[in-house]
Amino acid sequence: MNNLFIILLTSGFFTWIGWPFTKLLNKITLVERLGLSFLLGIGLGTYGWFILYRLGLPFTLSSLLLTGLLLLFLGNVLGRFYPRSIHLTISSPRPLDKLLIILIGLGLLSAFVIGSYNAITAWDSMALYDFRAHAILLNHDLRDIVDSSYYLSYPLLVSLLHASVYFFGGTNPQGLHSLMFAAFLAVVFGRVYSWTNLRLALLAVFLNLFSYELLMHSTIAYANLPYTIYLVLGFIFAVSGSGKFTHHLLFAGLLIGLSTWVRSTEIFWLIGILVIAYQGLVNWKIFLPLLSILLLLSLRYGWSGYYTKLISVLPEQPQTYGRLLSLETFTAIYHNLPKIYEYIMRYVISPFLGIWTLAVGMGIQSFRLKLRPVRILTFIIFASLAATIAGISVYSTFFATWYQIGDSARRMLMFLIPLTLIGAVLALSRFSEGNHDQTR
């Protein structure tokens, strides 16, 4: 019971420090504002905590609270200069909407109970993320973490999130992952609602909640779901950053930047930059897209710069990518082609067959019916596929065991599920009445 209280206390703390930043967004629902506050609070809170550590403060409860105060100050200053906090009210639900709300509530509650009840036992969540949290709690610094390329292989968001629960006195932070999932769904609801209507917004939440892969990950302490959450929301804000809403691009940069604070080796943030730049071009804006891209890159650099510095002095250095574009690499890829094809079919296409079919369907719809947001989402999905195929091809030339770790490719691509489901629901808006905003 004490642990549950600490989980709620920690969640309240992060929501509180993220709240002022959401004042920069106008016309969003209270549900979305709450969800976004929580996620921004976690992302910026843990990032700020790390920056203070780099500046010489140890990881303690006091330094976490100081981070919170600094972020509150920053958020309030920004909110005072750029106040935009107009709420979007939610229309009253009809019987089917009420049923969806009840099912969504039950699903989320069950996920929270399972995640909070179970001990942290999944392999990487113990050996990597939670271990680092325990070490930070014990030492108040990163000793015993920075001397191993394994412990440095992922940035610190998940570990610092766990550490914050331990500093507050909790024993099991796993329940926070399902609360992050709930916050993600709240933002999905808000985004889809602002484009369409209550029924479709609830449908988008329902489909995402009961998509199994995401639901299952919300009950374990892996980094894949937090990564998915920040990346997908970043993409969605990039898509919505058009017309009167170009300021959404700032949130796109912020959220995609925070995704690299969860997992830094994937290159999908590059697609985010492309979409932000595209939105800037079609909306004839320079300053906001540029600022957004700079924000993304600086957030990414915060960890990658630190990582590069540390890893260069380790005896067990990871593989360098210096010969990435060499003839030797291309020859090796050509040699591996049948195996690469088989791998992609088995681990990239087949596990997501329904999702790929959905993506093709929504892609055709969006181009034929000129649904602009869906078109951009389709681009993101297929650009991600292309990046994945390119990545796997290169990876196959570097590591002899590449073929044996198919499950990681599947987890890496988890973000395609919510992106496609949201895109599909937006495409469905053509067959629905009473939308708030034309998805053109």
Partner 1 sequence: MRLNKYQVIYFVTLLIALMAAFLESMSYLGFVAIHFFFPAYIWYLLASIIALVSKPIQSPLQSLLKIISWISVSVYVSLMIAESLTYPNFVYTLTHINLQGLQIFVLLIWFILLVSQDKQTDPLLRLGKNLLFAALIFVSAEGLGLSLAFLTKGITYAVSHSLDSYEDKLTKAHGGFYSAMRLVTELTPSNTLILIPPQGNPWEVEGNAPMVTYYLYPRKVENLRDQIGRSDRQVYALIAHGSWPKSGDTDYGWPKIKLSATRLWKFDVSNHSYLTYNRDYDPATDNWDWGLIEVSHE
Tell me the C-alpha distance between 73 and 76, whole Å: 5
Tell me the C-alpha distance between 401 and 438, whole Å: 48
Torsion of CA 104, 106, 110, 116, to 10 degrees: 80
Under rule CB under 8 A, residue 224 binds partner 1: no
Under rule CB under 8 A, residue 126 binds partner 1: yes
Q: In the complex, what is the shortest distance from the CB of residue 349 to partner 1, in angstroms, rounded to a whole number? A: 10
Under rule CB under 8 A, residue 114 binds partner 1: yes
Q: Say what angle helices 416-428 and 353-369 make with each other, to 10 degrees.
A: 40
Q: Which residues pair with 87 in a beta bridge?
A: 28
The DSSP letter of residue 59 is S
In the Cβ-directed half-sphere of 32, how many Cα atoms lie within 13 Å?
Answer: 27
Binder among 113, 146, 297, 311 for partner 1 (CB under 8 A): 113
Q: Which of residues 153-172 bind partner 1 (CB under 8 A)?
A: 171-172
Q: Which of residues 72-111 bind partner 1 (CB under 8 A)?
A: 107, 110-111
In this structure, what token pair is assigned to residue 248? 């959404």
Tell me the C-alpha distance between 33 and 36, whole Å: 5
Q: Which residues contact 434 (CB under 8 A, 6 or more apart)?
A: 197
Binding to partner 1 by CB under 8 A, coded x per residue (else -) over 172-191, reads x-------------------
Tell me the C-alpha distance between 178 and 44, whole Å: 19
Q: Which is nearer to partner 1, 118 or 329 (CB)?
A: 118
| φ and ψ of 320, to 5 deg | -90, 160
Binder among 27, 134, 140, 372 for partner 1 (CB under 8 A): 134
Binder among 55, 86, 313, 353 for partner 1 (CB under 8 A): 353
Q: In the complex, what is the shortest distance from the CB of residue 221 to partner 1, in angstroms, rounded to a whole number? A: 12
Under rule CB under 8 A, residue 150 binds partner 1: yes
Chain length of the chain: 440
Binder among 362, 377, 392, 409 for partner 1 (CB under 8 A): 362
Q: Which is nearer to partner 1, 1 or 55 (CB)?
A: 1
Binding site for partner 1 (CB under 8 A): 107, 110-111, 113-114, 117-119, 121, 123, 126-128, 130-131, 134-135, 138, 144, 150-151, 171-172, 207, 209-212, 215-216, 219, 350, 353-355, 357-358, 360-365, 368-369, 421, 424, 427-428
